[in-house]
Amino acid sequence: MVPDAPLYLDACATTPLAQVARQAMDEACMTAWANPSSLHGFGLAAAESLERSRQSLAADLGTQAEAVRFCSGATESIHLALLGAAAALEPGRVLISGVEHPAVTAAAGRLQQQGWQLQAVPVDATGLLDLDALQALLRSPTRLVSVIGAQSEVGTLQPLGQIARLCRQAGVLFHTDAVQLAPHLPLAMDQLGFDLVSLSAHKLGGPRGVGALLVRQGLSMAPLLGGGGQERGLRAGTEPVVLAAGFAAALALARRQQSDGTSARIQHQRDRLLLALQDLPGVTLSGPHPARQPRLPHHLSLLLSDPRGRPLSGRQVVRALWQQGVAASSGSACSGASGRPQPSPVLLAMGVDRDRASSGLRLSLGCWLEDAQIERLPAALAQAMAGCGAVPP
């Protein structure tokens, strides 16, 4: 039996739908339900709603409305960014980091099948990109770089401004997966000089099924799908007007929370939780320490071991935590959920050995959590670890 209300600490996987997003979607359902390509009054109302959402997103992301292309989510956005940009280039080399989301590695793999060279730039033990290695690789035939802005599994924040500057100096296109970054930190696309930025609504309190690709003005791109020529010819298909309204409202809320004290409160909760969890035997922080290096403000990642120092199965601990009403994760929600547990590619890239790379636990907080609720976590984790076995050899 679950003694208290369940705690949701898996914001990096998805977030609860924000009330303001629900309200915006309800209004759009009533007033903007038509096809925005239709020329009658109903269609014009839908088109107006869509453009208001586009303008709102652009303002909150530091770019122009013309840069925003709606799509179904981050996976489509990432594929459109890499494959669409590469279609206008001669095949060359594409660089990614060693700690990318599976969507980026999949899209880059598609380019490799098309004759591109694929190379992963190494990271250090905290997941931070090796800028010297990147700069050395920004010579011909490199034409495209994709680096995750904030790593969902270990919380590392990459120096995107520096990366964008190095790419711009080398004449190389730069794409960033900003899915985890956008909910928590300002993202000024034009100021920082990004060429392509991928986003998803459901990581920041918006609905599932909608995301966006930001495209620098003048950049040549090819669509993945043909059809009606929507989204300035880059993404065919009737636009998700209602979902876009929820997306825009949720991002606007996230921006307000960065300045009204909400984000600071969540970060304070995270820091207090880290202090309490580090007192537990067998618990080690992975990724950057927030006192020494930038990290997602709502994020903790841990490596777990038993009293004999043997790595515990992170997946088993997640299941055991849920028996106590705590929802957590053992890594990216997109890295697979069946079969024998595989070591985390992210942790392996950071130099963690294979056994310990299966012992990860991720806790990602949100504005819905109260201090008293979070105080349940240390005891719940200790109990969950006591009932779990070591990673099988």
Q: Which residues are catalytic?
A: 334
Nearest Cα to Cα of residue 168 among 131, 190, 195: 195
Q: State the pairing for strand pair 299-304/117-121.
A: unpaired
Distance (Å, whole) CA 149 – CA 143? 19
Q: State the pairing for strand pair 360-364/68-71.
A: unpaired
Distance (Å, whole) CA 176 – CA 85? 13
Whether residue 173 contacts residue 196, with contact meaning beta carbons closer than 8 Å, is answered with: yes
Distance (Å, whole) CA 51 – CA 264? 32
Distance (Å, whole) CA 294 – CA 158? 8
Q: Which residues of 96-119 are buried (b: 16+ CB within 10 A; e: fewer)?
A: bbbbbbebbbebbbebeeeebeee
Query: In sequence order, what are the residues at sequence separation of 6 or more whose Cβ sits closer than 8 angstroms to the Cβ of residue 17?
Result: 205, 206, 207, 246, 250
CA 318 from centre of chain: 20
Describe the strand order of the beta sheet including 283-285 as a list of residue ranges.
283-285, 299-304, 360-364
Distance (Å, whole) CA 50 – CA 32? 8
